[in-house]
Structure 1
Amino acid sequence: MAAKTKHRLQKENNAPGPEQITIQGTVQRRIFYNAENGYAVLVVSVNDDDDIKATGNMPIIREGDEYRFTGNYVEHPNFGRQFKFSQAELILPSGKAGVARYLSGVTCGVGLVKAQRIVDVLGEDALEQIQADPSVLEHPDLSFLTTQQKEDIIQDLSSNSVQAELAGMIVRDGVGMGTVSKIMQKFGNDAVRIVKENPYILADEVWGIGFKKADEIAQAVGVEPNSP
């Protein structure tokens, strides 16, 4: 009888969890955010009339940004039904107003007025154009931008994208946003490439990351300890 019970428990423990679903929504309000591990509790609007509570880890949160969340609905004993997500993918805004707001929000030294002028010149796909070919900022109609402002736009857009990707790869229990910040400070926009290629180098190159944490990061990105 004990053997049957043990076998049944093993089957239950190994049973696959519920299939994850993906929802798309706009962050309306941040209820809670832990900057160290990136854990957030958010109010997300999934359509015009339906706001839900969403919980999970994400690197950067700005109210008004739209995300694609992957996870499951769960019933919290104290706080009721909420969407627990394992991934949060930022959706770049569409429409001139949305693109200008996003650009002014992530770039130091460029306010909304200048961001709107940039979008007027480059169009609604301004963000994609700048990331693909930064020289588009040399357009003669963008001469109002200083050299420093152009450099800030290029750097901030790239860093924001890299940091979000890195956090999505490695943030989990024991590996928080503090670790992401340290890696970004050391490797900058090469951070994702380096972590994917050899996460164990972090133990040697990044202060505060020992072998144990580097091993956790390696597992997160799917690198085995004996990989060449």
Structure 2
Amino acid sequence: MPFINVGETLKVSGKWVTHPDYGEQLKVELYEKLLPETTEAIEKYLASGLIKGVGPATAKKIVKKFGDQALHIISHHPQRLAEIKGINMEKALKIGQAFEEQRGLRDVVLFLQEYGISPTYSAKIYKTFGPDTIEEIKKNPYRLSDEIFGISFKTATA
């Protein structure tokens, strides 16, 4: 499963299969990334390197300051991160922006899963269309076959 990092929480659906070499495994058909809720899980998530500009030390400071509201602060009030020693306003805003970019990619992956488009292609599509990906696809799904190598007309019209 691409785009999964240590510290992330997932909701998965699929079926159990038996692999000849590795035994029983869950064959994941759909997955959804869930934002962590506990302070411990939030700190692990932030420390994972998923959000540019936040490593283990910064994650610890953010969670110490904002507790279980840390992700809400990063998402809705990133300027408040500048209240933490070692984070200036520029870095605070960049952290907020990086967090929103991850949310945008996650939303696109979930949206495109319904149409059988893999997370790998979803990332390519997001890279091409940016934060307005879902709106652009809804307006004109044929752009996928025109602009994304490997997406056929049939897939774009599904």
Q: Is 1:67 the counterpart of 2:6 in the alignment?
A: no
Q: What CA distance in whole angstroms lies between the structure 1 residues aligned with 2:81 and 2:21? A: 55
What's the RMSD between the two structures over aligned residues? 3.0
User: Cα distance 1:138–1:174, how it changes in 2: closer, same or farther (>3 A)?
Assistant: closer
Residue 183 of structure 1 is matched in structure 2 by: 125
Which residue among 93, 96, 100 is the counterpart of 2:36? 93
Q: Is 1:125 the counterpart of 2:69 in the alignment?
A: yes
Asked if structure 2 preserves the Cα contact closer than 8 Å seen for 1:166 and 1:180, the reply is yes
Shift of 1:171: 5.2
Q: What CA distance in whole angstroms lies between the structure 1 residues aligned with 2:3 and 2:107? A: 11
Q: Is 1:170 the counterpart of 2:112 in the alignment?
A: yes
Q: Report which of the two has the higher share of helix.
A: 2
Counterparts of residues 125-164 of structure 1 (less than 5 Å): 125-131=69-75, 133=76, 135-138=77-80, 141-142=83-84, 144-164=86-106
User: Cα distance 1:165–1:199, how it changes in 2: closer, same or farther (>3 A)?
Assistant: same
Asked if structure 2 preserves the Cα contact closer than 8 Å seen for 1:59 and 1:177, the reply is yes
Q: Report which of the two has the higher share of strand.
A: 1
User: Cα distance 1:196–1:163, how it changes in 2: closer, same or farther (>3 A)?
Assistant: same
- Secondary structure of 2:53's partner? coil
Q: What CA distance in whole angstroms lies between the structure 1 residues aligned with 2:155 and 2:136? A: 15
Asked if structure 2 preserves the Cα contact closer than 8 Å seen for 1:70 and 1:87, the reply is yes
Q: What residue identity is the alignment partner of 1:208?
A: F
Shift of 1:69: 0.9
User: Cα distance 1:109–1:140, how it changes in 2: closer, same or farther (>3 A)?
Assistant: closer
Asked if structure 1 preserves the Cα contact closer than 8 Å seen for 2:65 and 2:84, the reply is yes
Residue 216 of structure 1 is matched in structure 2 by: 155
Structure 2: stretches of 5+ with no match in the other structure: none
Number of residues paired by the alignment? 157
Shift of 1:60: 0.8
Asked if structure 2 preserves the Cα contact closer than 8 Å seen for 1:73 and 1:83, the reply is yes
Q: What CA distance in whole angstroms lies between the structure 2 residues aligned with 1:148 and 1:186? A: 26
**Computing the radius of gyration over CA atoms, which structure comes out larger, 1 or 2?**
1
Of all paired residues, the percent bearing the same amino acid is 26
Q: What residue identity is the alignment partner of 1:168?
A: L
Deviation string 1:43-71 (CA, Å, 9 cap, x unpaired) is xxxxxxxxxxxxxxx44122343211112
Q: What CA distance in whole angstroms lies between the structure 2 residues aligned with 1:61 and 1:193? A: 25
- Secondary structure of 1:193's partner? helix
Structure 1 residue runs of 4 or more that deviate by more than 6 Å after TM superposition? none
TM-score norm. by structure 1 comes to 0.56
TM-score norm. by structure 2 comes to 0.77
Asked if structure 2 preserves the Cα contact closer than 8 Å seen for 1:59 and 1:164, the reply is no
Q: What residue identity is the alignment partner of 1:122?
A: F
